[in-house]
Amino acid sequence: MIEVSHISKDIQGCKVVRDVSFVVRPGSVFGFLGQNGAGKTTTMKMLVGLNQPGAGQITIGGKAPTHRSVREKIGFMPETPHYYSHLTGLEFLTFCSALFRVSKNKQECVELLREVGLYDARDVTIANYSKGMKQRLGFAQALVNDPDYVFMDEPLDGLDPIGRLALKKIILGLKAKGTTVCFNSHILFDVEEVCDEIGILHQGALVYAGPVAAFAQGKSLEERFVAKIQSLTPTI
């Protein structure tokens, strides 16, 4: 279980996250929604322990995200990252795997690359990867430790429809295995398809957290999301 309790975060004097609390149930898929600058990435970085909240606390399986044992169980895919471009996809994945107590061998890494559709490009240097291929590699490295909790920042960004479909299948596969998945996305159609629950951040505050169906109330998620944000910001 992921428990977020009254977290706040100031960055350079600006309140980026304000008193946010929510719970993500084990084995569920949780989607973070919000406009650009709503605080989604900042919250995500605090969830994986890259940054500390200024107030409040986060626990994953009862422990802080910075705890070594928690880190062993976390997979994180950052938003549009740069890679070590002179390494091949396989070298990068093997490198990421070797940072865990129990690491995958080369063959297992090859299989993971096959799963995300990068088998043919495994020995190509990352500098020659397309944006979509980099997204897939980012996804593979987030799964390299067979995590119990997967956090992804805009995982569907830059993927073509086939790539998005493949990634959504993997997310649903993870859910079926009991993995807890938490991700940010602007593509609400996909969120609607794969998420059990959503959290909507607006100007750093959580304005909704709960089941997708309860929020959508029979309408499309996008329609309801836009209406919600417009009701909070009448100038939009």
Partner 1 sequence: MIWRILHTLFVIARSTFIENLRDKVLYGILLFAFMFTTFTLFLGSISLGENTYVIRSLGLAGIYLFGLLITIFLATALVFKEIEHKTFYFILSKPVSRWQVVVGKFGGLWASVAASVVGMLAVYLCVVWYQGGGFDVGAMYAVGYQLLELMVIIALSIFFSTYARPLASVVYVVTFLYIGHSLGLLLGVAKDTPVLQSAAMGLYYALPNLEKFNIREVVLHGALPPLEGVAVVALYSVLYAALLLVGASLLLGRREL
- Could you say whether residue 101 binds partner 1 (CB under 8 A)? yes
CB of 51 to partner 1, least distance (A): 6
Q: Which is nearer to partner 1, 7 or 229 (CB)?
A: 7
Residue 167 vs residues 59, 147, 170: alpha-carbon distances, Å = 27, 16, 5
Query: Based on the number of CB atoms within 10 Å of its own CB, is 27 exposed (0-12), middle (13-18) or buried (19 or more)?
Result: middle
From candidates 6, 25, 86, 177, binder to partner 1 by CB under 8 A: 86
Residue 85's closest CA among 44, 56, 127?
127
Tell me, by CB under 8 A, how many residues bind partner 1. 32
* Part in contact with partner 1 (CB under 8 A); list of ranges 21-29, 66-74, 114-122, 228-236: 66-74
- x-marked contacts with partner 1 along 10-49 as a string, rule CB under 8 A: -x---------------------------------x--xx
CB of 8 to partner 1, least distance (A): 14
Which amino acid belongs to residue 104? Answer: K
Beta-carbon contacts of residue 74 (< 8 Å; ≥ 6 apart): 48, 49, 60, 65, 145, 147, 148, 149, 150, 151
From candidates 53, 78, 117, 163, binder to partner 1 by CB under 8 A: 78
- Could you say whether residue 106 binds partner 1 (CB under 8 A)? no
- Could you say whether residue 82 binds partner 1 (CB under 8 A)? yes
Given a contact cutoff of 8 angstroms between Cβ atoms, the answer to whether 24 and 1 are in contact is yes
Q: Which is nearer to partner 1, 11 or 165 (CB)?
A: 11
Residue 27's closest CA among 200, 185, 147?
147
CB of 39 to partner 1, least distance (A): 14
Query: Based on the number of CB atoms within 10 Å of its own CB, is 34 exposed (0-12), middle (13-18) or buried (19 or more)?
Result: buried
Binding site for partner 1 (CB under 8 A): 11, 45, 48-51, 68, 71-72, 74, 76, 78-84, 86-87, 91-92, 95-96, 98-101, 125, 141, 145, 151
